[in-house]
């Protein structure tokens, strides 16, 4: 079968770069790294030592390659892991003429991007995300970071990549629950900006949304296009035009999602927490009078259709409320939520009442 042409999406802004979507893309890496690069350090999850081999082989033909294996998942996003990478780069004499490549899920992208952003105040990095979540969320947009005991991604920086390779072939070995979790961010993009994503999910058998399906490819393309447009207009989350929340819109559902992740000590998948968080904030918007109940119900239906949770009751409201207060979008003691007035019509709700916050949690099955 003839290989379908790769899709190239341009992310604009001060440092434009391409996001390439397709299959078997490792041969594109040297072109993305550009001229002048002598050495490449590959940051990858230690659980992917076999899957990373084609990338290492492709790079070894043109560069001196060093490997930087890191722990899998959120365990990688710690200061100690970043320090170990910095020390390895220092011992190797890594300079500004060298570059990093990240290979793994969103946690690897976040950690590897942070190392690239901070080594010598910034060196070139290309991301090769290997999870659906990484492709549509973490790898695009230049946000990097690590976690602390106080919360998720509270230490980080903006550092745009030189390019992103979304190689759908790497998803073939992804456990189904991980693929489903990635759809949480995809569906979120449908609600905040592109209703065609919701139509695709509603019009396809979820079991047939697989790594080699045309449906998944289009979902990835559309979700990446949403994020590319948003970050090009507002890289550092300073605000959008004409009342649009700007980059903050990408945090739809994330205030509650991050609170759930923290109370669960990150044992819940990010996309699962996002699905719950989106349903929660839809319920909150309904109580604030900005969103029709039919759209709230559509949240439940679409997220549930792909197999994502829409209820939560494992923590008390008070514990989650305390966690939400350290969210990066808060202003002083005032909580801020991205909400919808309709599908693809986002706004900001600042300082909702405690009663509405509590009632919205009860509406998703929560306990006081």
Beta bridge partners of 124: 99
Cβ 285 vs Cβ 346: under 8 Å: no
CB-neighbour burial class of residue 359 (10 A; exposed 0-12, middle 13-18, buried 19+): middle
Q: Please report which residue ranges of 98-253 form alpha helices under DSSP H.
A: 106-118, 132-133, 176-192, 195-203, 214-233
Tell me, rounded to whole angstroms, the distance of Cα 121 from its chain centroid.
Answer: 23
Tokens 């003691």 correspond to: 333
Q: Which residues are annotated as a binding site for NAD(+)?
A: 72-77, 106-110, 130-131, 143, 152
Give CA angle at 89 (87, 92), nearest 5°: 110
Which of 106, 115, 51, 49 shows the shortest CA–CA distance to 82? 115
Q: Which residues are annotated as a binding site for Zn(2+)?
A: 185, 254, 270
Terminal-to-terminal C-alpha distance of the chain: 56
Bridge-based pairing of strands 151-158 and 143-148 is antiparallel
Copy the structure tokens of residue 311.
Answer: 């209820």
Beta bridge partners of 145: 156
Copy the structure tokens of residue 339.
Answer: 């909400």
Bridge-based pairing of strands 163-167 and 17-22 is parallel
Q: Which residues are annotated as a binding site?
A: 72-77, 106-110, 130-131, 143, 152, 185, 254, 270
Distance (Å, rounded) from C-alpha 256 to C-alpha 344? 20
């Amino acid at each position: 079968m003839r290989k379908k042409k790769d899709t190239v999406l341009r992310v604009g802004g001060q440092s434009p770069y391409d996001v390439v979507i397709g299959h078997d893309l490792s041969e594109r890496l040297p072109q993305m790294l550009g001229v002048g690069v002598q050495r490449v350090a590959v940051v990858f999850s230690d659980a992917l030592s076999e899957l990373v081999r084609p990338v290492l082989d492709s790079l070894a033909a043109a560069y001196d390659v060093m490997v930087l294996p890191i722990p899998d998942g959120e365990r990688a996003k710690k200061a100690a892991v970043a320090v170990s990478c910095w020390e390895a780069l220092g011992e190797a004499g890594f300079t500004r003429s060298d570059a990093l490549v990240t290979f793994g899920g969103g946690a690897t992208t976040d950690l590897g991007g942070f190392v690239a952003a901070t080594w010598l105040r910034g060196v070139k990095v290309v991301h090769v995300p290997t999870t659906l979540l990484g492709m549509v969320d973490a790898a695009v947009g230049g946000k990097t970071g690590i976690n602390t005991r106080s919360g998720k991604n509270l230490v980080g920086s903006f550092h745009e990549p030189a390019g992103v390779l979304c190689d759908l072939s790497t998803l073939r070995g992804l456990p189904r629950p991980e693929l489903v979790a990635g759809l949480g961010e995809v569906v979120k993009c449908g609600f905040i900006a592109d209703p065609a994503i919701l139509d695709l999910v509603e019009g396809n058998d979820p079991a047939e949304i697989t790594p080699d399906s045309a449906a998944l490819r289009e979902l990835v393309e559309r979700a990446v296009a949403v994020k590319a447009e948003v970050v090009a207009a507002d890289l550092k989350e300073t605000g959008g035009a004409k009342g649009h929340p700007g980059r903050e819109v990408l945090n739809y559902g994330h205030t509650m999602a991050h609170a759930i992740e923290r109370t669960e000590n990150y044992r819940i998948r990010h996309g699962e927490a996002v699905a719950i968080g989106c349903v929660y904030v839809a319920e909150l918007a309904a109580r604030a009078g900005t969103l029709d109940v039919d759209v709230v119900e559509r949240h439940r239906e679409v997220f549930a259709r792909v197999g994502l949770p829409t209820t939560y009751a494992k923590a008390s409201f008070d514990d989650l409320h305390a966690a939400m207060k350290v969210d990066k979008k808060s202003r002083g003691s005032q909580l801020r939520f991205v909400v919808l007035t309709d599908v693809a019509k986002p706004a900001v709700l600042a300082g909702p009442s405690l009663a509405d916050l509590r009632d919205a949690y009860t509406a998703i099955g929560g306990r006081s």
